């Protein structure tokens, strides 16, 4: 599908063979994939990245998937997260959902379901971003009515600080 070419994915799993295999398959589908074999590498990649969706393994040494989920959601307002784990439990699914995971999928995974989840996550990201931009434009229109140019710049700076 044509829209896949625009979707930037951060794929994180400590099983390197699995990581390389899934990355290759997603790349063939037209996704732009960056991989990380641990939480620290994922955090560094995300700082450089502008990712639309992250696919995270739950159990990893060091920073695990739920910790990484929390960090990414805190630092990257619009990123959507899909948890993909071979150690699924009801408790971990609930925890990840509460932390903001878009989907929670089990390994072994169905590749077509993963692709569909990635497309849905991207769509949700774009809708959230559009809604946020709409609210920002409405706020700018309101503050522009009664402010001097310098006052307008000050108010816009406050709006920008709230977006980080």
The pLDDT score that the predictor gives to residue 163 is: 56
Give the position of tokens 């406050």.
158
CATH number of 2-127: 3.40.50.2300
Model confidence at 164: pLDDT above 70: no
Q: What's the farthest any 2 CA atoms get from each other in the chain?
A: 60
User: What secondary structure does DSSP assign to 102-113, as a single string?
Assistant: SEEEESSPPHHH
Whether the predicted model's global pTM rises above the 0.75 cut? yes
- Strand ranges inside 13-140, DSSP E: 32-36, 53-56, 80-85, 103-106
Q: How far is CA 11 from the centre of its chain?
A: 10
71 or 132: which carries more pLDDT confidence? 71
Q: What mean pLDDT is reported for the chain?
A: 87
Residue ranges of domains in the chain: 2-127, 130-163
> Residue 1: pLDDT above 80?
no
């Amino acid at each position: 599908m044509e829209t896949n070419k625009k979707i930037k994915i951060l794929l994180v799993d400590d099983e390197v063979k699995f990581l390389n295999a899934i990355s290759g398959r997603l790349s063939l589908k037209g996704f732009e994939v960056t991989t990380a074999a641990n939480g620290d590498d994922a955090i560094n990649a995300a700082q450089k990245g502008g990712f639309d969706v992250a696919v995270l393994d739950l159990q990893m040494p060091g920073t695990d998937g739920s910790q990484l989920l929390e960090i990414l959601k805190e630092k990257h307002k619009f990123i959507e997260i899909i948890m993909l784990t071979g150690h699924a439990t009801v408790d971990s699914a609930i925890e990840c959902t509460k932390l903001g995971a878009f989907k929670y999928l089990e390994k072994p995974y169905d590749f077509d379901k993963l692709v569909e989840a990635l497309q849905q996550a991207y769509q949700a990201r774009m809708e959230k971003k559009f809604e946020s931009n709409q609210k920002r434009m409405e706020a700018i229109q309101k503050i522009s009515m009664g402010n001097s140019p310098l006052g307008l710049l000050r108010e816009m700076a406050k709006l920008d600080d709230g977006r980080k």
